[in-house]
Amino acid sequence: MRHILIAVVALTVVAGAAAVATAQAAPIKDPLLERLAGTWVLRGTLARQQTTHDVTAEWVLNHLYLRLHETSREKDAAGHPQYEAIVLIGWDASAGEYQCLWLDTTGGGGLTAQGIGRGKRDDDRIPFLWKEKDGTLSFNNTFVYDHGADSWTWIMDNIQKDKPVPFARLTLTRK
């Protein structure tokens, strides 16, 4: 009898683990993020320099993340883009907020807790905020959608002594 009980418990644990392993999260259904999917030209000022980048945004991994691939048109001495980024935007349903992982060629270290920005939607704006280990705000990138122009603005600020310092003012228009 004891062997049967152990076998039943073991099968229950295995079946439960299999159910968790095969369960999938529901795709993100977000009309605002849907407007970001597509092919874009990004133009504006970045670190006091005029720049132009190409951006492609597409849904990946069963529509759970919007992946942006950004490459500058400016090239380095080897002919590679001066800047390149892969950005993933997802949704944390339990916190009711967006998450943004921004990995780029300015340096490693993006795969940390501080590498994930978080933002709560405010009408047609998503202010993504990045924080240091101690919880202080370090960077803000607000995505703003303009319905009339079908374009996006990215307002990027470094936060120094609790005050925003402009880093970039960029506009994305459809290619």
Polymer length of the chain? 175
Spatial neighbors of 137 by CB under 8 A, at least 6 apart, are 129, 130, 131, 159, 162
Residue 154 forms part of a structural domain: yes
Residue 21 forms part of a structural domain: no
Q: What is the pLDDT of residue 72?
A: 97
Of the chain, the percentage scoring pLDDT greater than 90 comes to 73
The domain total for the chain is 1
* C-alpha to C-alpha distance for 19 and 27, rounded to whole angstroms: 18
CB 88 within 8 A of CB 65: yes
Interval 24-37: pLDDT, tens: 788 888 999 999 99
Residue 147 forms part of a structural domain: yes
* C-alpha to C-alpha distance for 139 and 142, rounded to whole angstroms: 10
Centroid of chain to Cα 88: 4
- Check pLDDT > 80 for residue 20: no
Q: What is the pLDDT of residue 154?
A: 98
Residue 125 forms part of a structural domain: yes
Q: How many helices (H) and strands (E) does the chain have?
A: 2, 10
Q: What is the pLDDT of residue 11?
A: 40
Residue 19 forms part of a structural domain: no
Q: What is the pLDDT of residue 10?
A: 43
- Domain CATH number, residue 70: 2.40.128.20
120: containing domain: 27-174
* C-alpha to C-alpha distance for 55 and 171, rounded to whole angstroms: 11
Residue 14 forms part of a structural domain: no
Interval 117-141: pLDDT, tens: 999 999 999 999 999 888 888 999 9
Residue 20 forms part of a structural domain: no
